[in-house]
Chains A and B, each alone.
Chain A
Amino acid sequence: MFPRELSSPIYPHQPTSTVIVILLLHCTQCFFLPCRLAFCNRESRTSRCLVVSPKQTPKLLGEIAMDAKDILGLSKTSHPASQEKKSRTVKESQRKPDGISREVYALIGGVPPLMPAVEPLQLKKRPPTDEKITWQWLPFTSSARKDNLQLFHWVRVVNGVPPMGDYSFAKYNKSVDVVKYTDEEYEKHLTDDMWTKEETDQLFELCQQFDLRFIVIADRFPSSRTVEELKERYYKVSRSILIARAAASPGDVSEHPIVKEPYKFTQERDRKRALSMVLSQTKHQERKDSEVLAEAKRIAESRMAARNAKESELPITFNVERAIVPSETLSPSSNSEFPSAMVAPSTSMAENTSTLASLRMLRVYLRTYALDQMIQAASSSAGLRTIKRVEQSLQELGVNLKPRVPTKSVCAQHLELRKEILTLLNLQKQLQYKEAEGSSYRDSPYETPGTPKDRTFVPESTSFGGDVLGERVGKRDQKRKAPGRAEAPSSPAQPKRPRKLRASDM
């Protein structure tokens, strides 16, 4: 592998001033031990140079250079050597920076990073300052303290001048304005059956002390009262006091939050209870809730669609192309299971009636449109393949996919036929599954050695009515085999091979 840097040819046509020297070094990279060429990378630690001096015999140089190029497989076109420097600098920018290996550099993109990195050298630099900074241990006072305690701390003194101003943390000494009532006020406004004056006073003292942290207050309160009770009492008192004091101008306080929205005990209690319930819901519960919500949303949306269809006053109604199919499935879970004969009718009934309902909401519609909607509703539980199979069966029966004379009765019959074909296909599938299950049991014990196991399963082809013939064939075979062989009692020897309906069957 050759170092990629070297793409510039070595062989100059014109000898230039740059001195080019060949160093006969062992080139560890190119494995061409005999070539003994080495390549120069100014920055790299492994400095190997290929420099050719024009002072030496040009012929020899040329030959050596050509040999080198041959070995390396480089192009033989020449560049003036002056470009070498430029190309080399270009190459240098493409070369990897120091500090990380080449492979790592390639891993992170092989290009220089987008953001200029902060040079570590810059971080330590600081503007030279002409101020004299000293640190002194000085006393200070804080406006937050009410006593005269003298405290000390380190202070950054600039040019012998200590900083002015209050203690910087004093501004954080905030407290809540807890209402203070007099005894007369208590007598007049605040008496309560559930609360004695003593208790109320205690409460307010604690509120003042603990800055309305009711959890703590409830904990410290001598008699056991719940947080909600304490809150209620406190807010009630505050509200009454506010209103009483502002009796002269009630409008002023009406903006106060506690006056506008008084504390509601029951509401708070219920809210907290609901919150704790939500928090403690199990995953199972959550899933159930989201399912129910999704279902409700779907129903609401289908109603919305039906309502829009009814109420829209747009003059242009593309009845023919309308796409609303409000198929409300009564039992969503059963649809995902293998549709049994019992479940299918109930869901199709629901879809039927809801499609009918949505059709009635239209002021006018075409019979073919109605038929399409009903067909869509009926086959909403069927996959695309099943639908194609139904259509193929219809064709084989000689029935038009879209009736040529779509009268009411024709459409009804057509729909019923489609449903019956669907039922038949489902039953056939069931039968196949059952047989697949059963066949794993019906083996060696019941067959003599030598009986060929021709239990190949033909995947249900889209042909119609195969069972009849399959059975007939099976019976015939059984008759033939009976004398000589023992057979599995309840399994047909032939697989159920559906066959194409023939014209003779019609």
Chain B
Amino acid sequence: MSVRKAGESEPPQPEEGGSSAQLSQPVRTSKPAEDGDKKSTNKRLKDVDICVPIVYGTVAFYLGRKASESQSHKWTVYVRGATNEDLGVVVKRVIFQLHPSFNNPMRVIDSPPFELTECGWGEFEIAISLFFHNDVCERQLDLYHHLKLYTEDESGPQSTKKPVVVESYNEIVFPDPLEACFARLQNHPAVIVPRLPAGFNLPNPVSIDQKNDKERGDTKDHPLSQWFLNFSEADELLKLAAARQEVQAHIVNVRRKLSMLDGPPQLSKPPSGYEYA
């Protein structure tokens, strides 16, 4: 993988054949309100992706005896690192937009762990907006999650011990990150970065201002961590590999048959005398 720095005036290099989509435009220039660090270069690392695996979802407990008509469940919505690492290095703020029937439906969480606990009775779609630190990304990212309070089989009483858990795994990709951002994040466990070729000079990492109301931003010992689901790519990879093998075998088969048909066409074609009209 070739890593190139793209300066402000340098046009992006064309990729294999995709040059028609690339415009010879200067890369987006620096944001003027950079944290006073005048020396920070605004160069971006080309063909490099920073990947942040996250899991977001809800855990809902039935309140049992303490349940009322309007508050039958206590649920928590959250965004956590897939390996339960602290997302605060990347995420500055998370805004959970709840159903309008809630008081102040726009809940802003400024520090990790990014979670919100509420009581209610209804299921609805929660809009989760992630805001990143300035050097990471200036745009927000929106996710949507449907709050589930009830299990599929409605038979039997609800358990107060076992919650209804729905989680989704996803990865946030930041293509062509700033050098400063890369330098800051490259060794953090919450982030997956590619290895740069040796001798690559990055600016010294500058740690950013991170709000930390709570003691720790990671969710490793979170009270709900026992309910977190496990997301292992190994299973999927295995299944995919098996499926691919099978498909490839069939392809070989069909190709062989096709070539057989193409092969001796003269044999199957009757001589003109015997052709029936």
| Chain A CB within 8 A of B3 CB | no
Contact B15 A356 (CB under 8 A): yes
A-contacting 9-mer, from B57-65, B155-163, B197-205, B265-273 = B265-273
Can you list, as one digit per residue, whether each of A345-368 has a CB less than 8 Å from chain B (1) or not (0)? 000011001101111101111111
Residues of chain B from 6 to 52 with CB closer than 8 A to chain A in the complex: 15-18, 20-23, 25, 28, 51
Interface residue count for B (Cβ, 8 Å)?
62
Contact A397 B261 (CB under 8 A): no
| Chain B CB within 8 A of A315 CB | yes
CB closest residue in chain B, given A420 = B247
| Chain A CB within 8 A of B242 CB | yes
Report if A306-B20 is in contact (Cβ < 8 Å); known contacts: A364-B172, A407-B171, A414-B240.
Answer: no
A319 neighbours in B (Cβ, 8 Å): 141-142
A299 neighbours in B (Cβ, 8 Å): 20
B255 neighbours in A (Cβ, 8 Å): 427
Give the residue of A310, A318, A353 whose beta carbon is less than 8 angstroms from that of B17.
Answer: A353
Query: For the complex, what is the distance from the CA of A266 to the CA of B242, rounded to whole Å?
Result: 72
Contact B21 A406 (CB under 8 A): no
Which secondary structure characterizes the binding site on chain A? helix
Report if A317-B141 is in contact (Cβ < 8 Å); known contacts: A365-B173, A405-B231, A407-B53.
Answer: yes
Give the residue of A311, A367, A414 whose beta carbon is less than 8 angstroms from that of B171.
Answer: A367
Contact B270 A405 (CB under 8 A): no
Residues of chain B from 219 to 274 with CB closer than 8 A to chain A in the complex: 231-233, 235-237, 239-244, 246-248, 250-251, 253-255, 257-258, 260-262, 264-265, 267-270, 274
| Chain A CB within 8 A of B207 CB | no
Report if A328-B247 is in contact (Cβ < 8 Å); known contacts: A316-B140, A408-B171.
Answer: no
Give the residue of A364, A400, A423 whose beta carbon is less than 8 angstroms from that of B132.
Answer: A364
B-contacting 9-mer, from A58-66, A69-77, A108-116, A435-443 = A435-443
| Chain B CB within 8 A of A417 CB | yes
Contact A316 B267 (CB under 8 A): no
Give B211 Cβ to nearest chain A Cβ, in Å: 21
A416 neighbours in B (Cβ, 8 Å): 244
Query: For the complex, what is the distance from the CA of A394 to the CA of B247, rounded to whole Å?
Result: 10
Contact B233 A407 (CB under 8 A): yes
Contact A417 B240 (CB under 8 A): yes
Query: For the complex, what is the distance from the CA of A37 to the CA of B49, rounded to whole Å?
Result: 99
Report if A328-B21 is in contact (Cβ < 8 Å); known contacts: A315-B139, A431-B258.
Answer: yes
Give A419 Cβ to nearest chain B Cβ, in Å: 10
A354 neighbours in B (Cβ, 8 Å): 18, 20-21
B18 neighbours in A (Cβ, 8 Å): 350, 353-354, 356-357
Contact A431 B171 (CB under 8 A): no
Give B217 Cβ to nearest chain A Cβ, in Å: 20
Residues of chain A from 389 to 419 with CB closer than 8 A to chain B in the complex: 393-394, 397-400, 403-410, 413-414, 416-417
Can you list, as one digit per residue, whether each of A300-312 has a CB less than 8 Å from chain B (1) or not (0)? 0011001100110
| Chain B CB within 8 A of A326 CB | yes
Contact A359 B139 (CB under 8 A): no
B-contacting 9-mer, from A39-47, A280-288, A485-493 = A485-493
CB closest residue in chain A, given B267 = A489
Contact B142 A465 (CB under 8 A): no
A311 neighbours in B (Cβ, 8 Å): 28
Report if A441-B270 is in contact (Cβ < 8 Å); known contacts: A366-B172, A427-B254.
Answer: yes
Which 4 residue pairs of A and B lie closest in terms of their CB atoms, listed nearest first? A353-B18, A367-B171, A357-B21, A413-B240
- Residues of chain B touching chain A, judged by Cβ–Cβ distance below 8 Å, are 15-18, 20-23, 25, 28, 51, 53, 132, 137-144, 169-176, 231-233, 235-237, 239-244, 246-248, 250-251, 253-255, 257-258, 260-262, 264-265, 267-270, 274, 276
- Residues of chain A touching chain B, judged by Cβ–Cβ distance below 8 Å, are 299, 302-303, 306-307, 310-311, 315-320, 326, 328, 349-350, 353-354, 356-360, 362-368, 370, 393-394, 397-400, 403-410, 413-414, 416-417, 420-421, 423-424, 427-428, 430-431, 434-435, 438, 441-446, 464-465, 467-468, 471, 488-491, 505-506
Q: A326-B21, A405-B231, A467-B250 are in contact. List 11 more A-B contacts (CB 8 A).
A: A302-B21, A317-B141, A356-B15, A357-B18, A367-B171, A394-B243, A424-B247, A431-B257, A434-B261, A434-B262, A471-B257
